Structure formats: C-alpha cells, structure tokens
Structure 1
C-alpha cells in the first residue's frame, strides 16, 4: 500500500528540523505523483577517550611562614615584647635582601593565658603574637633566611612552614595540558586501529581538571635559635597535572 504523500512530507519536515539530510529517489520529480524516497545519512562512528598528562619543574620561589610571640603579666607588656621581636624579625628579613612587597603580616593576636589546676583556672598573663609570610625569590637563600630570623628573634621567634612553588605556574601547566592531549590522541589512534578504522577529525575536547603537587619540607616552630648554621632545605620539584576528554570520528 503506497504511503500517503502528506505523511512522507511530514517525515521530511521532521528530518530537516533535526538537521538530517533528506534526498528524493532518482526520477521522483519526473513522475509527478510518485512518492519520494527518504534516505537518512548514517552518523559517523566515534571514539571517546580520556587523556592524562603531567609535567615537572624546579621551584623558583620559597614561601616562609615565620612569626614571633611573647608572654607577660599585662597586655601592654606582652605587646611591647612582641613589637620588639617583630621589629627584629623584619630587620633580619630585609637584611637578607627581601623587599617590602614580599613581606606580609598574616595575623596579629593578643590573648589571655590561664593556668588550670584542680578544675580552677587562674589568669597568668597575656600572649601577644604576630605571624608573617615571606616570599624568597632565590630558593637557595631560604635556609639562610630562616637562620637569620631565629638568630634575630631568639626564643620569641617561630618558623611555622616553608613551601616551595613557582612564581608563574602557567608554563608548567601548559606542558601538562599538552601531555594530556597527546595521551588522548595516542589512545584514540590505538582504538581506531584495533577496530579496523582510521582516526578521523577531532569532534570535541574538554578539560577534566588540573592540579599541582607542591613539595613541603617539614619545618616546625621548634627551629633552634642563635648559633646554628643555615638550615638545610630540599626544594624537590613542582608537578602539574591535567586531564582531557576527546571525541574523534572514525573513518
């Protein structure tokens, strides 16, 4: 039974709306009343892969967390002692060639100190503290800076952390992205060959995520004071990671 022409026309309209090609059978136009044949082009086969990559580089800056604290009977006395120690710390840091834009106060606090015995708390005095973040742009001098800080501040000084990093992470991240892309392409080419195809054009590419692994040597607030040599440090390496999802056509 022939398909009504209106039905075929409706099908053609739907296919066109979906962006699918519609073709009439040869000679259909010439026959006038003949029903056109509708052909839908097959969608190309594709392969979807995930690529992962990483890149490593040497740190070119060190971020040193250091500070001072002092305890006294009154807040005024505690602040005075803390201020004196903080001034000594800043003089020592600047003497190491650190410019002011690379020194930042992170926190200032004054708090009471209690003695607890037999369930009773007794006010002993007050503790004043200030912490700093110091950016060292010559990694090899970070150990000498720590030594200078502890010698200048004595028992009031604290070194809380050292983190090695890159001043500009973008070039390393770009290398990790390139490695992830190449990994995805190699996987897609292998799957195409295994399936008896040739790898076609790239249809889509999306980034799954990026990350960094920073070396963090164990430096604590118990670094000794005056009389020590430069603190030995191991900068390690910075590692950037990336992942991508790629879709390729198969020819």
Structure 2
C-alpha cells in the first residue's frame, strides 16, 4: 500500500528528482531533545522571575566573663636559680587567684619558658643569665571582681608579675550569634520585599538561602601586653563594654 505523501515530502521528492539540495522547513521538526518547541516556549514563559539579595545583621550583648592573661618572669645567673624564682612567683600567683574564689578548672597554663639573656655591646654578646617565665589564662565569672583579681596578682608576685591582657567575652556565644543571623535573615527579606514592590510584583517563596559569614567583636580594655604587675595601688578600674556578633546571608526569592 503506498505511503501517503505530505506536501513537504512531495516537495523533497521533486527536488531530489531534479538533483537539487533539499531544505527541511523548521515547522517539519516536531520533536527536540527537550520536547516540542511549543512546550519549551511555554516552559520558559512559565519560569518565575527571581530576586537575589544580601542581608546583614548584628546583635550586641553584655559580656559575662573576663579572660585575664597573667604570668611571672624571673631572671638569675643560673638556670636553676631562675627556675626557682619563677616557680616561687607562680605558686604565689596561683595562691592569690584561688583566694579570689577562682576554681582550678578556670585556670590554665599557657606557656613555660627558659631562655638565656645576653648583653650586647660593641657587636659582642655576653651571657648575663637566664630568664624563666610562665603564663596563665584565668577565667573570671564574676566580672565585678576582675579589678580586685588583678590587684591580688600584683600584690602576690611583686616585680615578677605580669598582666598581659584582659578580654571580656561571653561564656556561650551561640545565643548572640543566633540573634545576628535572625537580623540578617530579616534584612534580606525586607530588601527582597522592597524590590518586589518596586518591580510591580509580590514576593514569592524563598528559593535558596546561604550564609555568607559571621563575625564577633570583643571589647578590649587598655591593658598593655607584658606590663609589669607591680605598683598597682588598688583594684584596677575596667570597662567591660559590649560584644557584637555579625552575620550575612544571600537569599533568592521568587517574584509572583
């Protein structure tokens, strides 16, 4: 039974008979790799518009702990003499810290060192002795006792004592960071809603959300590193300040 010929097929046969090249009309291509051409066009038309925004947020809180960096140093002619003097001063420091109600779990040794000390003159070095040192980090849970602790350390260690730093912090940073993330999320949503209004749309569903980064800013009072602890006449006045957590997000919303 002969196969019926469409007009396009008949034209192609005629061209072949005449020895001429054939060209298939676009309308004759009914199926593509992704579906029919009308279906692809409809799908593209149905894809919703989107808006991409970044949101920034922060939250502040009052510190509830202080981290005190303190230590002792001693110099002597021999290594044993330097170590003995350092050990005596360190024991006095720890005794004073415990007397202030600081638990042993909140005191940590950070470093112990012993090194030669040289005198340099006219391009030549002469061994003067040895320096032994030990440093500690002390967590103070009652902030209003921090100044008294510093005085207690200086009274106990004299010229061998060192106050290296005082940093105010939060014992648990997570709640403050969570507030910063919420602020960043709300900022992104508000920006997206504004862009939707400006473009004559309504804000649709959230398509994606990614965190760009977080930050944490600690207050740092003016206590100079490696400052000798001796000579402090009373409790050191300190200002805890406030702690700031930051966050940023990138959000993609559909526009209806």
Normalised TM-score (structure 2): 0.85
Report the counterpart of residue 14 of structure 1 in structure 2: 34
Counterpart residue number, 1:243: 248
Q: Does 1:208 align with 2:212?
A: yes
- Unpaired segments ≥5 residues, structure 2: 1-24
Q: Please say if 1:167 is aligned against 2:171.
A: yes
For 1:218 and 1:61, the matched residues in 2 are separated by 17
Aligned-residue offset at 1:232? 0.3
Match of 1:219 in 2: 223
Counterpart residue number, 2:64:
60
Shift of the 74–187 alpha-carbon distance from structure 1 to 2, 3 Å rule, reads same
How does 1:1-251 map onto structure 2 within 5 Å? Answer: 1=25, 3-4=27-28, 7-9=29-31, 11=32, 13-15=33-35, 22=39, 39-42=42-45, 43-220=47-224, 221-222=226-227, 224-225=229-230, 228-251=233-256
The alignment of Structure 1 onto Structure 2 pairs a total of residues equal to 230
Q: CA deviation at 1:228?
A: 1.2
Q: Tell me the secondary structure at the aligned position of residue 227 of structure 2.
A: coil
CA distance 1:227–1:143, shift in 2 (3 Å): closer
Q: Determine which structure has more spread, i.e. the larger CA radius of gyration.
A: 2
CA contact (8 A) 1:21 1:41 kept: no
Q: Structure 1 length as normaliser, TM-score? A: 0.87
* Greater Cα shift, 198-207 or 225-234: 225-234
**1:3 Cα deviation (Å)?**
3.3
Q: CA-to-partner distance for each residue in 1:120-146, whole Å, 9 max, x for gaps?
A: 111111000000011111111111111
Are residues 183 and 39 of structure 1, via their aligned partners in 2, closer, same or farther at CA, if it must alter by over 3 Å?
closer
Distance in 2 (CA, whole Å) between partners of 1:116 and 1:82 is 24
Contact preservation (8 Å) 1:52, 1:242 = yes
Unpaired runs of at least 5, structure 1: 24-37
Distance 2:110 2:131 in 1: 17
Of the structure 1 ranges 81-90 and 42-51, higher mean CA displacement relative to structure 2 is found in 42-51
**Separation (CA, whole Å) in 2 of partners of 1:227 and 1:163:** 19
Distance change (3 Å), C-alpha of 1:224 and 1:2 = closer
In structure 2, the residue matched to 1:26 is none
